[in-house]
Chain A
Amino acid sequence: MKCGQGTAALVIRVGDPFCRGCFREYFVHKFRAMLGKNRVIFPGEKVLLAVSGGPASSAMVRQVQEGLSREAAKRLRFIPGLIYVEEGAVRRQSPEQREQTLAQMETLLQATGFPYHLIHLEEALELPPSILQPGLEHAGPSGPSYKEAVDSFIQQQRQDGDSGTSVPGHSTPDTAAGAPASPRLPGAAQTQELLRTFEAATTATAREELLEMLRTHLIVQTARDRGYAKVMMGESLTRVAIKLLTNLSLGRGAYLAVDTGFTDQRHGDVMVVRPMRDYTAKEIAFYNRFFSVPTVSVPPLFTKRREKPSIHQLVERFLLGLQEEFPSTISTVYRTGEKLSPEPAKASSESDRCLLCLCGLDTYGEEELALEPTLILEEPAAGAESKAAYIPLLCYSCRLTFKELGPLDTLPPYVRAEGQRRIRRAEMEQNQENQESNES
């Protein structure tokens, strides 16, 4: 044991048990070390923490609270806000159950004292098409360096006579959603429309991908609207390892680094960071238990009768089973992921960017791919309003998912609007090219 005093409480590394006190030190230190190592969160910057009520994101919020209450020298210096996306509609919760979950979540959010935003998944139906385009980055290569930003922030604080006791975040005026009236559920028509989109998906895998996409877009849009430069997602090491193998199986091999890495810059102006990716699910579960971190439990995404489990579920079962036999499995997968480059995911122009996942298309020079049996769509091509017309706008993996989504009129409106715009644009460019070649 580290301290030689406390009672052993859990094993993280074999033969080296932690007492509660040492475990807490270890856990809290890891969060600071993760942020310190990566140096992407600037002092005074607004950061939106995505909370699901689940163990990892709840532990993440607690780490930020811990970090903000420390003595000045070791204190985190960004300004946090919270966002919760309520997904009861696709988790088969009754309106009463949804209200109940919301009330539990709101209690949890309010207790932090941070400003927060409650969003319903139904609101994805009103997302603007621009969420499928990267926003303009505020601080490009000409912006201040991390060190400059830290120095000027410290100077600013000295000038303000900061005593080192005030907690940033509590005093910010941006509390538009600070204390809303009792939360209202979306109208039944909206819920029905959202459900139609999910029910039209023919596989559990496509439904999982759809949910992840809508949730991410809602979070990034909220960050964009409210001036948050960063979003923190609470994916654990265990979750990252599962996502690595899942995405590999889904044909997203080229994008693993952005899908699972510490930073994800595909949205441009809003950077997604994953500060919990060094913690195993076990560490998080014990931390939450020992230090009474509240969580809220929700049912899983609905599945259809006699449906095959999703790839996500199968990979989770496979990986955790293997971990039982070979205890280094998950950390090995995780470390393999560390060696991957984000370069292949970068898109140079709109025509090179996947409509759904915003990564650089990996389908160039692979026209024969379009002929692959798995990619051929059953419906007859009928101009721009056919599903087939969307295929060139998508990366290999999103083509597979897209095929398993329902007909066009069940797609979220923003996806359809942006898709139509790009299809028309490609047609116009094609026509121009044809004209030019005719003229010459």
Chain B
Amino acid sequence: ESFPLSVLVHCFYFRGGAELLFDGVKKHQVTLPCQPEPWDIRNLLKWIKQNLLKERPELFLQGESVRPGILVLINEADWELMGELDYKLQDQDNVLFISTLHGG
């Protein structure tokens, strides 16, 4: 369990919020560094907060999870089927965030 993982992170915000949050880039091919324990979504969100979010992380995150109203798909399936925050990421996984929020 000590290989770096390559994960595709894709954010889709209807009201153009992704530009604000992720510096104008919607699709990120990210390489997660080796770490002793396996990567899960919980860790990925922390990593995104530290490495991808430019400003106002509260628009994307709340506590250790995503903000209410943001949907998460892992490999094109509802994360509720995959254990949500506890899902163990694998190489070449595809993680998609879709915002259903209107306001800021």
Contacts and interface: CB of A to CB of B under 8 A. Distances in A.
Interface of A: 7-11, 17, 54-55, 238-239, 242, 281-282, 284-286, 289-290, 295, 297-300, 303, 309-310, 312-313, 316-317, 320-321, 323-324
A297 B77 contact: no
A238 B100 CA distance: 9
Task: State which size class the interface on B falls in.
Answer: 20 to 34
B16 A320 contact: no
A56 to B, nearest CB: 9
A439 B14 CA distance: 66
A8 B16 contact: no
Contact of B100 (A55, A299, A300): A55
Contacts of B69: 281, 316, 320
Given A8-B77, A11-B81, A320-B101, 20 more contacts: A8-B81, A9-B76, A10-B80, A10-B81, A55-B100, A238-B100, A239-B102, A282-B100, A285-B71, A289-B76, A289-B98, A295-B14, A303-B104, A312-B103, A313-B102, A316-B103, A317-B68, A317-B103, A320-B68, A321-B68
Interface in B52-104: 62, 68-69, 71, 73, 76-78, 80-81, 96, 98, 100-104
A7 B68 CA distance: 26
20 contacts: A8-B81, A9-B81, A11-B78, A11-B80, A17-B81, A55-B14, A238-B100, A242-B102, A281-B69, A285-B100, A300-B16, A300-B103, A300-B104, A312-B102, A313-B102, A313-B103, A316-B101, A320-B68, A320-B69, A320-B101
B34 to A, nearest CB: 31
Nearest to B70: A320
Nearest to B66: A324
B78 A10 contact: yes
Nearest to B81: A8
A17 B80 CA distance: 10
Contacts of B102: 239, 242, 300, 312-313, 316
Q: Which of B13, B16, B68, B80 has the most CB of A within 10 A?
A: B68
Nearest to A239: B102
A106 B15 CA distance: 19
A393 B81 CA distance: 54
A298 B68 contact: no
Contact of B104 (A17, A290, A313): A313
Given A282-B100, A313-B103, A313-B104, A299 B77 contact: no
